[in-house]
Amino acid sequence: MSISPFDLKDRKALVTGGGQGIGLAFARGLAEAGADVMLVARQSVHLEAAREALSDTGAGVDIFSADVTRESDCEALANYCREQFGELDILVNNAGTNWRGMPQDYTLEQWKALIDVNLTSVFLVSRCMFPMLSIKGGKIINVGSMTSIFGTTHTAPYGAAKGGVVQLTRALASARYDIQVNAILPGWIDTDLTARGREASPELHDKVLARTPAGRWGQPQDLVGAGVFLASAASNFVTGIAMPVDGGYSAEG
């Protein structure tokens, strides 16, 4: 019996920011495709709820509380992952956050915080996990944003960080290892984070619908197909790409 190139049976996956929203959707998709998953987030209450939410997948689900902007936390995570998994097949760098504001209104501390969460964490976790991924080849999926490829008025630090995610993805992909490194660029996805944006700017909802050819906001599960593809053998000759998953929002330039 032939095995589907999308089958992730016996694969080990780690998802940062995996306690809720997009990260939890990625984790569910990987688990349903057969992978065992480790969820990483700062708040243990979210991790416990996420583990319970994935109990119906039949996959092994582990959790680890860490601040992935801290080098010591990332090293502890790598040690724990090595103890539990021995090796790693799939890394999803999903941890991120954003605050809306005009460029002149951001403090230096806010700038640094957004760069650390959205970009530095990708470097730190990838660096710590690289030895495990390189044992037999692996997959790194970095979660950027549509703001990786065009600017928006109220998200200067976030856009700068997510643009950096794409360039870091290309740099890692060019290394001579059997590790495919790619980025997914979500568009307007309906999450707690974007809900706060709509509360701050009530006109945002209609503006998004007006520009999105798909005619709706995305849901976290809309990203799962791209995630499973980039995590599986189906993408073994795909590396260094940045794939928009935005309902066509970025197609209008």
What span, in angstroms and rounded, lies between the C-alpha atoms of 141 and 81? 17
**Tokens at 73, concatenated:** 């936390």
The residue length of the chain stands at 253
Range list of H helices, the chain: 21-32, 44-53, 71-85, 108-115, 121-133, 156-173, 192-200, 204-211, 224-231
**Residues 182, 234 contacting (CB under 8 angstroms):** no
Single-letter amino acid, residue 66: A
What span, in angstroms and rounded, lies between the C-alpha atoms of 16 and 39? 6
**Residues 142, 169 contacting (CB under 8 angstroms):** yes
**Tokens at 87, concatenated:** 């090796």
The residues that are catalytic are 158
